Every structure is written in C-alpha cells, then in structure tokens.
Amino acid sequence: MASAAEQLAANLNMGVFSKATELKQRIWFTLGALIVYRLGTYIPIPGVDASVMGEMLSQHGGGILGMFDMFSGGALKRMTVFALNIMPYISSSIIIQLMSSAIPTLETLKKEGESGRKKLNQYTRYLTVLIAIFQSYGISVGLETMHGSFGPAVIDPGWFFRFSCVITLVGGTMFLMWLGEQITARGIGNGTSLIIMSGIVANLPTAFGSMLELGRTGALSPFFILLFMVIAVCTIGVIVFVERAQRRIAVQYPKRQVGNRMFGGDSTHIPLKLNTSGVIPPIFASSILLIPATIAGFATNMSPWVQTIAGQLAHGQPLYMALYAFMIIFFAYFYTAVVFNPEETADNLKKYGGFIPGIRPGSATADYFDRILTRLTTVGGVYLVAICLLPEILISDYGLPFYFGGTSILIVVSVTMDTVTQVQSHLLAHQYEGLIKKTRGKGRR
C-alpha cells in the first residue's frame, strides 16, 4: 500500500515537474524573442544618417512621429530595420476586423471557424505587406528631403536608396509579424502586444531619467515629481480595476429529456467587459488628431487661417483636448459595435435554447444586450477619457516625456495583466492534469 502511494506521488510530481518545465521553456522562449527584437531596433538602415532623424524628432516629437517612435521603442528615431515596428500589422488587423463586419464574404469567413480564421489571417498578412510598402516608401522619400545641422539624412539619394529602404523596412515588419506569431504559439501571451509593450517599457527608464533631469535643473519641483509618481500609481490601480470589471448577464438553459436521461437545466453567465474596446479608441484618436500638428511642423508656407487652426489642434491645446475626448468616446462606441453584435448573440442563445430570466428570447434579448452595452460603453468611454487626458495635461503643461501618456500606460498595464493571466492559466491547467492523474491512480488502486 505504501509503495503504491509512493509510486503515485512520484508519478504526480514527475508530471507536475514536466509541465512546469514546459512553462519555463515558454517563458525563456518569449524572453529570447524579445531580446532579438530589441537587438534589431539598433541595426541601422544602410545609407541613412540617423542623427538627422533624431534631430527632427527632438524638434517635432510631439506629433505623430513621436507617437510612432514610442510604439517602435525608439527604432524610428534611430532609423533601424524595425523603424515601422509591427504597426502595419496592427493597422491591417483592425482594417480586416472592421471590414469583416461590413463585407458579407468576410463575415461568412469569420463564422466558418478555424478554416475561416486562417483565410482572414492570410488576408491580414497580404494587407500588412501593402501597408508596409506604402509607409516605407513614404519614409524613404521623406528622408531624402531631410537636412539637419550635420548635413542631409540620406548619403546617396535616388531610386536605389528608395528600393533598398523599402525592402529593409518591409522585411523588418514581416520578421516582427512572424516573431509575434511564434511568441503566441510557442511562448506566453499575445506576441504582438508583447512586442509593442517591450518597446515602450525599454524607453521608460530614459523617460524617467529625463523627468529627474527636469527636476535637477529646476524646471520641475521635487514636490511635483513626487505628486506625479503618486498619480501614476493611482492611475495604474484604476486601470487594473476597470479592465477587470465585468457585467455578468445570467443565462438559463431549460431542461430537456432524451430517452430516459434528463439534460440541461444549467445556468451560466455572459461576461461583458466594462471597457470592451480596449486601447483602440485612444490610438485611433491620437493618430488622427496628431496628423495636422505634424503637417504644420513640416510645412513652410501656410496661410494665416490654416496656421491658426493647426495651432489650436496642436498637442495640449483646449481644442485638441476637446476633440480628443470626443473621438475617444466615438471610437469606443464604434469599435464596441464592431466586436459585439447583440442580434447575433441573441440568435445564438435562442438557437441553443438559452434565455435571460425575465427577458423574452429574440428581439427583446437583443434590445436588452444593446441597452446594457450602451451603458457599459458610456462608462468605459468616460474612463478612457479620464485616463488619457490627465497625462496629456501633464505632458503639455510641464514638458513630461511622451512615454508617460495615457495610451502607453494603458498598453503596458493591459498587456501585463494579459500575460499574468496566461501564466496563471498554464499553472491551473497543470494542476488540473495533476488532479486527473491522481484520481486515475486511486481508481486503479
């Protein structure tokens, strides 16, 4: 009896140890892939003087270039092979997701299961290549027109440089897309999100050092720096609380008899997140509103009224803040309507016999979902506005680095929470498998 128990414990420990080893391998693979990504952000594009781009970003860092440089982890400022980062893939994924709700053919593929998802992923990759080619060509042409205090940005401009620049940048984006898929399959968490987060986190120490330098020179008081740190910690706590908040809608399934056996009668719930749209609304709103400021920074001849409008839409201005808040709420409603279809959810519930207690199946259930989702989106949109506007005020009024913006904080905290959830799910799966082995061992004994 004792030997059997010892053998069972040994087998159980061996199984748990092997599963823990698998989790450690996934973590090490993820870390190794992120190290490869960070090394690639320091490999320069041939024929480009990166100091000119760095000088340009220091002058116009508050525009859309500054935001893209933040997402690329400083690769755009250094003009490296990963200057485009994985943003073309993000843009392509969002476009395909939006089109799948508007084009019947793509909507049908979305409902086909695994085979449909593979086709949509393939379309996403093709669109990523097109977007990357367009953006990289624009960068190559823009580099040829740049001149800094040390001379031109491109040593030998021409079609050969444009071709080599496009090939390099598109190749870097496709490699990062492949690397993100490998992290998702063989590592932990969403590889695309981890790549973006690692770029932001890698530059946080530099941004924090810049803030301390402002305090050393007297531009910021020590009390303000301490107050900012307290506000940052409180902001992170609010993000964690709201991102985990859910509205659980109870669903009941009736009992049904098949032969001599009774099935059904279960009750479950549909979780609706308070912030269904995630970080998409701030990214869209920032990208659109920073375009006028960026164009105004590079343009030389503009009429006075255009200069006035561009000045009011500059980073930190009241009109910019008002439009920023409005567009965040607009995109929150828009993206939530894309990712969650009340009519489809109500039809699926009716198809499988489920119903919400006190609500009639069909259109009444769809109206109930729509009403609940509207209220949640309103609260989520106000939350996003508050999280994003407070750092924007500090950035515009006190000259804090771009990396302390609301969008970057949202991305870092959300991806960290998702990664922790992935690790916990692996650990729970290992414990569950261990319990199954233990139960089977008792049965055999």
The per-residue pLDDT for range 363-386, each reduced to its tens digit, is: 888 888 899 999 999 999 999 988
303 in any annotated domain: yes
The per-residue pLDDT for range 247-256, each reduced to its tens digit, is: 888 888 776 6
Q: What is the CATH number of the domain that holds 348?
A: 1.10.3370.10
Say what the pLDDT of residue 60 is: 58
347 in any annotated domain: yes
Say what the pLDDT of residue 168 is: 93
Say what the pLDDT of residue 262 is: 58
Q: Cα–Cα distance between 445 and 442 in angstroms, integer?
A: 5
Yes or no: say if 324 and 330 are a contact pair by the CB < 8 Å rule.
no
Q: Count CB atoms within 10 A of the CB of residue 151.
A: 11
The per-residue pLDDT for range 99-156, each reduced to its tens digit, is: 877 788 877 877 777 777 888 888 889 999 998 898 888 888 888 888 777 778 888 8
Say what the pLDDT of residue 14 is: 45
Two tokens, residue 130: 């097109």
pLDDT band for position 25 (50/70/90)? confident
Yes or no: say if 294 and 61 are a contact pair by the CB < 8 Å rule.
no
Say what the pLDDT of residue 437 is: 55
Q: Length of the chain in residues, anyone?
A: 445
User: pLDDT at residue 296 above 70?
Assistant: no
Two tokens, residue 157: 């401009």
Say what the pLDDT of residue 178 is: 92
Task: Report the share of the chain in percent with pLDDT over 70.
Answer: 78
Across the range 298-303, mean pLDDT stands at 58
Q: Count CB atoms within 10 A of the CB of residue 311.
A: 14
Torsion sign over Cα 397, 295, 309, 279: negative
Say what the pLDDT of residue 316 is: 66
The per-residue pLDDT for range 49-87, each reduced to its tens digit, is: 878 777 777 665 555 666 777 778 788 888 889 988 888
Coil, strand or helix at 329: helix
User: pLDDT at residue 4 above 60?
Assistant: no
Across the range 335-364, mean pLDDT stands at 83
Q: Cα–Cα distance between 116 and 97 in angstroms, integer?
A: 13
408 in any annotated domain: no
40 in any annotated domain: no
Q: Cα–Cα distance between 81 and 170 in angstroms, integer?
A: 9
Instruction: Measure the CA angle with vertex 444, ends 440 and 445; round to 5°.
Output: 115
Q: Cα–Cα distance between 328 and 441 in angstroms, integer?
A: 56
Say what the pLDDT of residue 318 is: 79
Strands 151-152 and 246-252: unpaired
- Nearest CA to 317 out of 301, 295, 293 is that of 293
Which range among 153-162, 319-328, 431-440 shows the weakest confidence by mean pLDDT? 431-440
Higher pLDDT, 18 or 263: 263
Residue-averaged pLDDT of the chain:
78
Domains: count for the chain: 1
The per-residue pLDDT for range 316-342, each reduced to its tens digit, is: 677 878 888 898 898 888 888 878 888
Phi, psi of 156 (to 5 degrees): -135, 85
103 in any annotated domain: no
pLDDT band for position 9 (50/70/90)? very low
Q: What is the DSSP letter of 445?
A: -
Say what the pLDDT of residue 300 is: 52
The per-residue pLDDT for range 390-400, each reduced to its tens digit, is: 777 766 666 66
96 in any annotated domain: no
In what helix (H) or strand (E) does residue 287 lie, and over which residues does it extend? Answer: helix 280-298
Domain hosting 332: range is 220-398
User: pLDDT at residue 191 above 80?
Assistant: yes
- Nearest CA to 391 out of 379, 378, 409 is that of 409
Q: Count CB atoms within 10 A of the CB of residue 133.
A: 16
428 in any annotated domain: no
142 in any annotated domain: no
Across the range 290-318, mean pLDDT stands at 64
